[in-house]
Chain A
């Protein structure tokens, strides 16, 4: 039991910030190891009237885990796998974990079939023996930052490059156990409890009910991580996925596992201009069924220029041959049957040729070792940007990276690319466009060189957000709202929707204890 928080400022200090680089404040911190200890910590907070910030691995970049006073419940010590199951209808293993278990830790344990099964039920132990006996299984959710926690991934509906094929975290969650702020527990299983015509009645473990109305806004029909996931007849499990910890504290998660694809391969295709790259993306997006790419990613000329500079000046990215001065599209493919790979490569070659790609200059990664190099290249782009910004920050501490996370409908992709390029050019800013173009979701990063450029970049982002909302897009497709994008969420859905979202939160957390500042600005503006 951990009834008392650690209130030593030195112990709290490392937990006041997350990857967003913003910093908050807190009076104390709990490190519970199980649900009972989380419940005790919540009881303490209720009794003292303290707001609570729930933390996973603090890898988010919108400040969701940054405390706004009160107490922190840090779930990093709730990091055990609790059991394994077999999903007979879908012929797959399932894994139940505590929220603090890391994504990387989960994948490693699955790959090495190395779980600490102490305390697992006899049935779990039996399934685990079957799991160990044959086949290779993994967790097919994909994120860039693999040190994220599974609980954090649930609360942010995390996604990554391969979300294009496999869907975001929501697609892989079969069940969640959570505690409400008042300590009551609920267990949500996929398909277990549904809303009806925008109203919901959720039965908790003690038999009591939480009921209310769902917000009435219509979510954009794009990849989206802005606000609560709402559908009139929705599976209520989905309400807790992507809720940014505002409704309850997730204490257990059951995820679906999948067989490791027998073969994975990728191509990095170079283009002289954006229309050609876009043509290639359009063709890749048409591929369906077993030919559908796992990921379609884009890098503009500025990204490749940055990488080329680092190759020549810093001698970094040495595992890659010299990158050309071009734009690039990366596509990755997975096959359950390796015999289909050859036909897949041939089909993609025809498609790329038709899109104007030079096959002699198209890098093909057929081995895991080569594929790792291309994936490494994808990850190196934001890392290089962060490095450049860190350097500039040393000279001018007020500068930070400005990054967008907006997505648009299919027919608006070309428009939004032109919008981004035109504004960056017009203002003379240093801007890079890259990311998940398969989902019409690009990250535009502005690298300000001065306070003036930083202000211009911020204003530009607001203008883009306004235009993208008008074009039925979303202000956040991946990173979530956290504490940094509440104004954009308000701009996207409007006052009425925000009030409905607050009312929904009030059904579960009437005192507003959980994760204050996430989704809803503390000053009431959003």
Chain B
């Protein structure tokens, strides 16, 4: 069974810098980590391979440091790692990303199953997985919390719906996105780390893929981030104590201090 897992490197902190021109996240020079949902996708892929045999390939589009998360996945037990790395891929929205990943999956010779995390915690769109399936013309199921390979060759999936679990049989090849309830990811073992240190992480650029250069990166993106800003932290409210009269007087005092105008007596009458 050929399994591909799409993984993404995301900022480890919510304190991120944005490119002032493209409004996309600046990934250079900040602490990055494997997107938490993707860790569950890698684990599920390894478990399915342990049962059904085959091969797990991890695939990421990103900057050179993304090699780190791919090597980590190799250490966990993935068989092959591919990094899509090219300046022309930069600034891609979910559409251009899915287009590029689809080209990479085709370049791999296709596969039986693609696993993605439900969403990346930086963009939170949850669009790349389903969009990738659409580009490849395969069925997909999002937010899967359980997956079991049937003897029929289908994948029996469970996903949480409103107040119920849905059981869905999925004809392969297919794509699923997974939620954290699906498993508990294993730790990297010392042995796995030592093995992965010398393993190859393949690097593919735009020229290695059979793609239309106008459909990748910023140019191929149908959406543009117009404005992004960190959410303002709300300050804790002030508790007012005392009798109702005292509390009201305290609140009134604060309002007046902040420049609130007391209504005139005429306005009160109206």
The verdict on A364 contacting chain B, using a C-beta distance below 8 Å, is yes
Q: Is the CB of B194 within 8 A of A363?
A: no
The verdict on A369 contacting chain B, using a C-beta distance below 8 Å, is yes
> Considering the chains assembled together, what is the distance between the CA atoms of A349 and B193 in angstroms?
10
Please, what's the 1-or-0 string for B175-205, where 1 marks a CB less than 8 Å from any CB in chain A? 0000000001111111111100100000000
Which of B12, B36, B186, B190 touches A349 (beta carbons < 8 Å)? Answer: B190
Known contacts A349-B194, A369-B33, A369-B36; is-contact A319 B184 (Cβ 8 Å): yes
Q: How far is the CB of A30 from chain B (nearest CB, A)?
A: 21
Q: Is the CB of A346 within 8 A of B189?
A: no
> Considering the chains assembled together, what is the distance between the CA atoms of A368 and B34 in angstroms?
11
A-B interface pairs (CB < 8 A), number: 58
Q: Which B residues are in CB contact (< 8 Å) with A368?
A: 12, 31, 33
> Considering the chains assembled together, what is the distance between the CA atoms of A363 and B190 in angstroms?
7
Q: Is the CB of A346 within 8 A of B12?
A: no
> Considering the chains assembled together, what is the distance between the CA atoms of A345 and B185 in angstroms?
21
Q: At the interface with chain B, which of A87-95, A163-171, A354-362?
A: A354-362
Q: Is the CB of B194 within 8 A of A346?
A: yes
Q: Which B residues are in CB contact (< 8 Å) with A373?
A: 187
Quick one: which of B24-39 are within 8 Å of A by CB?
31, 33-34, 36
Q: How far is the CB of B35 from chain A (nearest CB, A)?
A: 11
Q: Is the CB of A365 within 8 A of B36?
A: no
Which of B34, B185, B190, B194 touches A321 (beta carbons < 8 Å)? Answer: B185
Q: Which B residues are in CB contact (< 8 Å) with A349?
A: 190, 193-194
Q: Which A residues are in CB contact (< 8 Å) with B72?
A: 366-367
The verdict on A206 contacting chain B, using a C-beta distance below 8 Å, is no
> Considering the chains assembled together, what is the distance between the CA atoms of A361 and B191 in angstroms?
8
Quick one: which of B54-109 are within 8 Å of A by CB?
72
**Closest B residue to A368 using CB positions:** B12
Please, what's the 1-or-0 string for A474-509, where 1 marks a CB less than 8 Å from any CB in chain B? 000000000000000000000000000000000000
The verdict on A370 contacting chain B, using a C-beta distance below 8 Å, is yes
> Considering the chains assembled together, what is the distance between the CA atoms of A221 and B103 in angstroms?
66
Which of B33, B36, B184, B189 touches A318 (beta carbons < 8 Å)? Answer: B184
Q: How far is the CB of A350 from chain B (nearest CB, A)?
A: 10
Q: Is the CB of B191 within 8 A of A367?
A: no
Q: Is the CB of A321 within 8 A of B188?
A: no
The verdict on A342 contacting chain B, using a C-beta distance below 8 Å, is yes
The verdict on A388 contacting chain B, using a C-beta distance below 8 Å, is no
> Considering the chains assembled together, what is the distance between the CA atoms of A430 and B222 in angstroms?
65
The verdict on A320 contacting chain B, using a C-beta distance below 8 Å, is yes
Q: Is the CB of A370 within 8 A of B187?
A: yes
Q: Which A residues are in CB contact (< 8 Å) with B188?
A: 363-366, 370
> Considering the chains assembled together, what is the distance between the CA atoms of A376 and B50 in angstroms?
29
**Closest B residue to A322 using CB positions:** B184
Q: Is the CB of B193 within 8 A of A367?
A: no
Q: Is the CB of B189 within 8 A of A359?
A: yes
Known contacts A369-B33, A369-B36; is-contact A364 B193 (Cβ 8 Å): yes
> Considering the chains assembled together, what is the distance between the CA atoms of A363 and B187 in angstroms?
5
Q: Which B residues are in CB contact (< 8 Å) with A364?
A: 187-190, 192-193
**Closest A residue to B185 using CB positions:** A321
Q: Which A residues are in CB contact (< 8 Å) with B192?
A: 360, 364
Quick one: which of B209-260 are within 8 Å of A by CB?
none
> Considering the chains assembled together, what is the distance between the CA atoms of A322 and B31 in angstroms?
29
The verdict on A267 contacting chain B, using a C-beta distance below 8 Å, is yes
Q: Is the CB of B187 within 8 A of A321?
A: yes
Please, what's the 1-or-0 string for A329-343, where 1 marks a CB less than 8 Å from any CB in chain B? 000000000000010
Please, what's the 1-or-0 string for A377-400, where 1 marks a CB less than 8 Å from any CB in chain B? 000000000000000000000000
> Considering the chains assembled together, what is the distance between the CA atoms of A349 and B188 in angstroms?
13
Q: Which B residues are in CB contact (< 8 Å) with A277?
A: none
**Closest A residue to B194 using CB positions:** A349
> Considering the chains assembled together, what is the distance between the CA atoms of A231 and B36 in angstroms?
52
The verdict on A352 contacting chain B, using a C-beta distance below 8 Å, is yes
Q: Which B residues are in CB contact (< 8 Å) with A348?
A: 190
> Considering the chains assembled together, what is the distance between the CA atoms of A359 and B194 in angstroms?
9
**Closest B residue to A365 using CB positions:** B187
**Closest A residue to B193 using CB positions:** A364
Q: Is the CB of A363 within 8 A of B184?
A: no
> Considering the chains assembled together, what is the distance between the CA atoms of A360 and B192 in angstroms?
7
Known contacts A342-B197, A369-B33, A369-B36; is-contact A362 B185 (Cβ 8 Å): no
**Closest A residue to B197 using CB positions:** A342
Q: Is the CB of B190 within 8 A of A267?
A: yes
The interface centre, meaning the residue of A268, A322, A367 with most chain B CB atoms within 10 A of its CB, is A367
Sample 18 A-B pairs with CB under 8 A, ordered by A number.
A318-B184, A321-B184, A322-B184, A345-B190, A345-B194, A349-B193, A360-B189, A361-B189, A363-B189, A364-B187, A364-B190, A364-B192, A365-B188, A367-B72, A369-B12, A369-B33, A370-B187, A373-B187
**Can you add 14 more A-B contacts, CB < 8 Å, to A320-B184, A365-B187?**
A268-B187, A321-B185, A322-B184, A342-B197, A352-B190, A359-B190, A361-B189, A362-B190, A364-B190, A364-B192, A366-B188, A367-B33, A369-B12, A373-B187
Rank and list the top 5 A-B pairs by shortest CB-CB distance, nearest first: A363-B187, A359-B191, A362-B190, A359-B190, A360-B191
Binding site for A on B (CB under 8 A): 12, 31, 33-34, 36, 72, 184-194, 197
